[in-house]
Structure 1
């Protein structure tokens, strides 16, 4: 009964918002620690009245996390719902840098909201990579002052936020006050370019001002007033939207500079606290939050706006070290670790959600959540169905916002990533399950801990035992040990091994969320058949016939070629694929009723050659037999011969290419997946020349250890060299099983069934 009420509440919420979608504002602080906000840290002497009030009138999360312990990866994950390590890119950007970390075909929160009619804007720090060009049009890939001086500022930036789901952008390419390019960017241009080297002499001098790189500065860029500039632009956006488009919902991503070093509070905030320049900076950030909430109210959006506040990672090393010493303030309190570290202080962050009339005032949530969850949460709010190739690490927190979970955890697992800047520049990972946390490394996973008084090093911790000798990782129970002081690696082997297994699974599968539920068909629905060809070749096959088949209608046909694991004569192993199970299921067939043909390549003593690969000559005999099966099916059933499609995985991907060569006129579209290694050298050029005009979509995982990803790259290159325009998807961090993601991709399915020989 409770579950039914929950579903009714959420469904009624979705229905009620279709005509009145809420405005959404996400305010992201920079390097603000869990203990930097008063309501999270009773020992803090830094006043944060606006954030405290927001929490008391909304929902305060106590177990919320940035996906990464540094800024660029967190911003990627916030806007895509996907862990950034899956991109293969490590670290953060320096100007010029680029290209954008957000892939061109990657769905973002902004694009999703645009599809529902939202006006979208981002104001502030972008820091996701941008492509700058020199005067000859060449992409500048290196960083530094000399690289900045080569930028041709008259050229548009092709991968600006405008190309990643935002209608409006005002901000800075990277860290506003510690980068080689000190200039504002608007839209896809920098309207006022830098003209001279930064003069640091007039800037404040204190222990929190040292992270301020040499660089080129624009004449209108004041390093001490950056956050006030961002605030004025966000308020301007809200005011203009109220005047010009009040009935259109909007999304504003306000990405603050505060409180990233150097701590340069604006002139109006200097000396406002007893906690020095950094305390003043935190106070200014709190003021900015208050001003944004006030602007929402004053412009008539207060009753229908969801506002979320959080931080991109934990507090910075020099900040924590010196604030503890000079002002008795601990921005990481009560946690171990800081920015870059994989311990809790590096990624457990303040998270406050405010939504009058929807979120109960004064709510406190212990729900485990990540900033990756923003995308799935927004998707549920606006009733957007996420495809399987988007938001792969995102869970919706809407039911928690609405107070419907009653303590039930939404997430079973959660991933985190950190980076070791001083060692290998490699990503370190951790995984949570309830109170249990496993780290796949020794030490912090980020900062150096020494006693050498280095500005960027944390002092060695007192009263915390050294890591267990011989333990390659760390295991903690955060209910017992929030400070992560006792490594339980050897004491709970079953829990440790489960988390290691899950972590590896999530790395290889390309996702940590469940694939969207799809009904699987009973395999008995596939009729077993046998066929003897004109060459006396016997082929067993299975045939799915659409439910309620009507001979007066035309139906498309899909030919599916199995992988090497499906070889045999049992007419069963050829059915092991998400396509077989799900494309014949209720949801898929309601949308695209179709025949599915699944032949089984028989095992014969001569099939496999001395090199361990199938003999092409023998395989061609089987391919010809399968084409004869299709010929017979066209006579037996009402099949649309202009909408016959072919696909296959691994060995079946190779069979897909061979089938195309055997009957180049038959298929309307083809989807070969991670196959072709035993024909690539002799057939790539032929395939390119013959099928450059055929709609083809190729899939492969970039970490495939069975069939090198270079195989698919060569086929795609051959098609393009011949003038073709094939679609190509290369899954980052995925091994051989790229077909599970591909066959569950709604975009692929829609594309496949949209092709026809008439159209093409």
Structure 2
């Protein structure tokens, strides 16, 4: 009996992972999408949606209460994260859109070295599981940017339940299309865990950028039932989406524990920007502003780092840090020190977390987003929010600190009391420092989902979006979309789909706007006027294949729907759209804010080409 027990113990020891004394630590970098500052349980604001697994990263490590990202929305944040540099240094200021120069490539600059490149050079197995949003062509694919394995999608958003919803943005394993990944949040966690299992005997770097909790708010029955007590549909679906994210994070952390790798793994969790509350209910707690804004609500995010046995647990640190610090921090954990010629903006946070350095990691943090800007130095923040764009006719052009607001965040985390007039010297100091930083930057390589050379919205030449025909994926900011207030207009497009469904073209959102879409297989036009919805539906099903579709709104509010020149539906609106929509125009989807009775983005099931809006 004793001999059998001895053998059993011996073979159990043999089955454990073998570690050498000089084994390099693993790194797991988790990014949530559109997760507001106030949503995690450990942040102390949300009592409705438990997030124990994500919270455990902070409980077992350090939570930075002044953790920031350098971009107020998706792609710029990710570009900076993967390079350790402010994205404005290499022109990645906005989400991918039309290039400033006609031949300008769109994606994370090929001149930049990514975190995947650096970890691979250090002898790591590298895996990327989730969203990219850093370029759609082969040279920008994760497998071309330092990663051994990729499972995810290249665009900015994706259906969670329908892998085939976007033919131009499929889920990929490597470069091959995945037909049935399952519920996408669970799929990314599953694939990351499988990679960790396969690579358990060698050091690995896993980049896990979930698309949760980004719209669309699609959840399985399991998560719908979990929050059945929440009566607001949008909030209930968001709760399910966040809970599924927490479960997914828990499954990956569980795999690490199962393999006894916790003390050999640095775990990092951040969000890519603040929550777009109106669209998804994702809350930013006490902070002012939302996604796409340089107020705190757009750029201050959940930010936690865990390394069991190597870094202190349950530590809360209020010193300002930023996501560009994560590349040098992770590499330092792996024994790779940043070199001067890398010209990184980020710093290694490990000595600050360990208490070896007590000063702030940065003298100041900076933002530039079109005319929006900010600088935080100590407790002081100089900021220009989205009103700067409105005043200057859009997001293109040169930013200026003139007219900026000044806040003391220690006393006023909600950015309520503008202290600029009371502290002119502090204003001048921060403005001069921002100007000096801004002078080092390059112009954007592309403009945000709009055409280059756009003019001021007050120009007669800008009474509509650019006259060229549009296609699936094209979109325009609100100031560059057609000026439809109190105007009659006609929408037309060439569509091609085997089973038509989803939005063909939309402008606006749940307050004001319109959407040409397919409802129950039939062409439909939904119009919002002061929140009130009217929908005109064709009497005939839209057949499969290629068709020319059209919707016209006459000066008296009359609506006519046509397919291939034939009238298929008619109706009457109570009035024209009286106010210019605050949201932009999208082709082949409805962005983040649905006009009609469907869940945004409601991607069209096929292709849209030759789309246009003609004002009468």
How many Å apart are 1:94 and its aligned residue? 7.0
Give 2:361's match in structure 1, choosing from 410, 413, 419: 410
| Higher helix proportion | 1
Question: Structure 1's 344 and 442: CA in aligned 2 closer, same or farther, altered over 3 A?
Answer: closer
Mapped contact 1:80–1:107 kept (Cα < 8 A): yes
CA contact (8 A) 2:61 2:315 kept: yes
Aligned to 1:287: 247
Deviation at 1:119, TM superposition (A): 0.8
Return the offset for 1:510: 4.8
Residue 215 (structure 2) aligned to one of 248, 254, 261: 261
The question of 1:236 aligning with 2:194 is answered yes
TM-superposed CA distance for 1:331, in Å, is: 1.1
Counterpart position of 1:127: 133
Question: Equivalent of 1:74, from 60, 77, 81?
Answer: 77
Aligned mates of 1:396, 1:221 — CA distance in 2:
37
TM-score by length of 1: 0.50
The question of whether the paired residues in 2 share the 8 Å contact of 1:58 and 1:352 is answered with yes
Residues 481-503 of structure 1 deviation map (CA, whole Å, 9 limit, x = unaligned): 11101112222122211211211
Contact 2:157–2:214, Cα closer than 8 Å, also in 1:
no
Does the 8 A contact of 2:371 with 2:389 survive in 1?
Answer: no
Q: Does structure 1 residue 177 correspond to structure 2 residue 158? A: yes
Instruction: Give 1:445 deviation, angstroms.
Output: 5.5
Q: Partners in 2 of 1:447 and 1:235 — Cα distance?
A: 45
Superposition deviation, residue 54 in structure 1: 2.4
**Is the CA contact 1:342–1:416 (under 8 Å) kept in the aligned structure 2?**
yes
* Alpha-carbon distance between aligned partners in 2 of 1:251 and 1:404, rounded to the nearest angstrom: 26
Distance 1:113 1:45, change over 3 A: same
Instruction: Pick the aligned partner of 1:497 from 420, 428, 431.
Output: 428
Flag the 1:31–1:395 CA change in 2: closer, same or farther, 3 A. Answer: same
Alignment equivalent of 2:326, drawn from 365, 371, 374: 374
1:347 aligns with 2:307: no
Does the C-alpha gap of structure 1 residues 442 and 410 become closer, same or farther in structure 2, counting only changes over 3 Å?
closer
Larger radius of gyration: 1
Partner of 2:225: 271
Q: CA deviation at 1:364?
A: 0.7
> What value does the CA root-mean-square deviation take over the aligned residues?
2.8
SS in 2 for 1:377: helix
Q: 1:309 aligns with which of 248, 269, 272?
A: 269
CA separation in 2, counterparts of 1:92 and 1:489? 31
Q: Give secondary structure in 1 for the equivalent of 2:417.
A: coil
Choose the corresponding residue for 2:43, options 37, 40, 43.
40
1:372 counterpart SS class: helix
From the superposition, tell whether residues 499 and 257 of structure 1 become closer, same or farther in structure 2 (CA, over 3 Å): same
* Offset at residue 232 of structure 1 (A): 1.2
Q: What is the CA distance between 1:471 and its match in structure 2?
A: 6.1
Give me the whole-angstrom Cα distance separating, in 2, the residues matched to 1:17 and 1:311: 34
**Contact 1:50–1:287 (Cα < 8 Å) also in 2:** yes
- Tell me which residue corresponds to 2:24: 21
Distance 1:95 1:50, change over 3 A: farther
Which of the pair is proportionally richer in strand?
A: 2
How far did residue 475 of structure 1 move? 1.1
> For this pair of structures, how many residues does the alignment match?
400
Deviation at 1:93, TM superposition (A): 3.1
Is residue 95–residue 181 contact of structure 1 (8 Å, CA) maintained in 2? Answer: no
Alpha-carbon contact 2:24-2:335 (below 8 Å) kept: no
2:149 aligned to 168, 177, 188, which one? 168
Q: CA deviation at 1:366?
A: 0.9
Structure 2 vs 1, CA of residues 98 and 288 (structure 1 numbering), >3 Å: closer, same or farther? Answer: farther
Match for residue 593 of structure 2? Answer: none
* Aligned ranges 1:171-570 → 2 under 5 Å: 171-177=152-158, 181-187=168-174, 189-191=175-177, 219-220=179-180, 225-242=183-200, 246=201, 248-273=202-227, 274-275=229-230, 276-319=236-279, 323=281, 331-406=283-358, 408-418=359-369, 426=370, 428-439=372-383, 441=384, 443=386, 472-510=403-441
Q: Which residue of 2 aligns with 1:727?
A: none
* Whole-angstrom distance in 1 between the partners of 2:86 and 2:407: 22
Distance 1:55 1:445 in 2: 36
Higher relative contact order structure (alpha carbons within 8 Å, sequence separation ≥ 6): 2
Distance 1:429 1:392 in 2: 21
Determine helix, strand or coil for the equivalent of 1:270.
Answer: helix
State the alpha-carbon separation in 1 of the partners of residues 292 and 108 from structure 2: 21
Q: 1:445 to 1:161 in 2, by over 3 A?
A: farther
Confirm whether residue 112 of structure 1 aligns to residue 118 of structure 2.
Answer: yes
Change (3 A) 1:315 1:60: same
- Alpha-carbon separation, structure 1, partners of 2:418 and 2:310: 41
Alpha-carbon distance change, 100 to 295 in structure 1, aligned in 2, over 3 angstroms: farther
Contact 2:134 2:140 in 1 (8 A): no
Partner of 2:176: helix, strand, or coil?
coil
1:88 pairs with 2:32: no
1:229, distance to aligned residue in structure 2 (A): 1.3
Cα distance in 2 for partners of 1:95, 1:160 equals 19
When normalised by structure 2's length, the TM-score is 0.61
